[in-house]
Amino acid sequence: MLNLKHISLAALFVLTTGITGCNSTPNNTSNNSIEEGKTQILSKIGSYNTAGAYGVTLSSDGTKAYVADWNDGLIIVDINDPAHPTKLGSTPIAGKTNDVTISSDGTKAYLVDGNDGLIIVDITDPTHPTKLGSYDATADAQLLVLSSDSTKAYIADGKDGLVIVDITNSTHPTKLGSYDTAGKSWGVTISSDETKACVGDSTNGLVIIDITDPTHPTKLGSYDTDGLSTSVALSSDDTKAYVADGLNGLVIVDISDPAHPTKLGSYDTAGNANAVTLSSDGTKAYISDGYKDGLVIVDISDPAHPTKLNSHDTAGSVWDVTLSSDGTKAYVADYRGDGLVIIDGMQFASNDSNKKDNNQTTE
């Protein structure tokens, strides 16, 4: 089965490198600061080389990283020493692994595979993860999110839209319902009250779906962005959606009225915005920006006028990012680069100190 993310990677790499006139000068390219005279310092402190890293998430205690590797399935990495991360264990997946998330009790990993759909893995012993069960989504599973009680998985399933799966029985997950969006669903997140799903629906933009009844999800509204929507993050009050919109960068949408979402602002990154995650205080967006800028950090404290704070370019193409619980480290999935990359130095320093050592901002 065809993997849409891989196609988009190849095609968009050509676009971002070959058609430089269209996207070579994004808005607000200077490193802005939240505090006057201060700039964020970013530096790579360690990596574990998995050539096909596509997705990453952390254990609740922050000691392990779970990497969805497009070539090698699930890889579990010990990150107690971030300068020297080491492999604990792995389990191969037959297809191409796109994303991973962990159950609320930390005993199971849920992966989506472009060929085989949902895969559930027992990670109780991280040195010997074992497959428990699977659900064969019929299209091209890209990303997933779990309900807070880990009984349901919400899957962005390409041309089949949003698919909701009952995962109460890990060995025999079953489909509850689905909503066939107009585009190709590449990303999904759910509201804090778990009544709405926000889907990044490629050329169809942002789609908001009522999931109150998981057996009969229904569309509430949509906002058609200008790019290819691949990932969505929500503000803590669920009134704003932050959309990774491909070559269109970051788009911020007011969803306080889900039937009539409206654009608040945008920031055009230099590369291809693949994924977005937010800081715990909701003032910064961390964007996975493909081959161009790697990890891009944007100040979103004023959603009408987001501005770039800094970026850290990796060796490959950044497809995903997650943050440590204290927000001081970013864990990046660097496809065809350094695999799992750990970026430190999320603190702020004066511009004077940056002038003394400009090498601190890049690796």
| Average pLDDT for 250-278 | 98
Please report the pLDDT score of residue 146 as a whole number: 98
| Average pLDDT for 212-233 | 98
Please report the pLDDT score of residue 178 as a whole number: 98
Minimum mean pLDDT among 24-38, 69-83, 191-205, 263-277: which range? 24-38
Residue 124 has pLDDT above 60, yes or no: yes
Cα distance between residue 69 and residue 52, in whole Å: 5
Spatial CA neighbour of 258 closest among 214, 206, 306, 213: 206
Q: Is residue 190 part of a domain?
A: yes
> pLDDT (tens digit, 9 = 90+) per residue, 18-41?
333 333 333 333 333 344 445 566
Q: Is residue 250 part of a domain?
A: yes
Residue 280 has pLDDT above 70, yes or no: yes
Which structural domain range is residue 143 located in?
4-20+32-361
| Average pLDDT for 336-349 | 79
Q: Is residue 170 part of a domain?
A: yes
Q: Is residue 26 part of a domain?
A: no
Residue 358 has pLDDT above 80, yes or no: no
Q: What is the pTM of this model?
A: 0.86
| Average pLDDT for 221-226 | 98
Residue 166 has pLDDT above 80, yes or no: yes
User: Under a CB-based contact definition with an 8 Å cutoff, are residues 327 and 51 in contact?
Assistant: no
Q: Is residue 27 part of a domain?
A: no
Amino acid at 20: T
Write down the mean pLDDT value for the chain: 87
Q: Residue 340 belongs to a domain with what CATH number?
A: 2.130.10.10
Residue 128: half-sphere exposure toward Cβ, Cα within 13 Å = 1
Please report the pLDDT score of residue 8 as a whole number: 41
| Torsions phi, psi for 15 (to 5 deg) | -65, -45
Per-residue pLDDT band for 94 (boundaries 50, 70, 90) equals: confident
3-state SS, 284-319, equals: EEEEECECCCEEEEEECCCCCCCEEEEEECCCCEEE
Per-residue pLDDT band for 334 (boundaries 50, 70, 90) equals: very high
Please report the pLDDT score of residue 12 as a whole number: 39
| Average pLDDT for 247-262 | 98
Cα distance between residue 363 and residue 360, in whole Å: 7
Q: Is residue 25 part of a domain?
A: no
Per-residue pLDDT band for 345 (boundaries 50, 70, 90) equals: low
Residue 256 CB coordination number (10 Å): 12
Structural domains counted in the chain: 1
| Average pLDDT for 217-222 | 98
Q: Is residue 279 part of a domain?
A: yes
Cα distance between residue 311 and residue 313, in whole Å: 6
Please report the pLDDT score of residue 15 as a whole number: 36
3-state SS, 332-355, equals: EEEECCCEEEEEECCCEEEHHHHH
| Average pLDDT for 284-295 | 95
Instruction: Give the position of tokens 């404290």.
Output: 301
Cα distance between residue 9 and residue 337, in whole Å: 14
Comparison of pLDDT for 246 and 5, the residue scoring more: 246
Token pair belonging to 123: 């990670």
Please report the pLDDT score of residue 350 as a whole number: 34
> pLDDT (tens digit, 9 = 90+) per residue, 311-330?
999 999 999 999 999 999 99
Q: Is residue 218 part of a domain?
A: yes
User: Under a CB-based contact definition with an 8 Å cutoff, are residues 161 and 205 in contact?
Assistant: no
Comparison of pLDDT for 138 and 362, the residue scoring more: 138
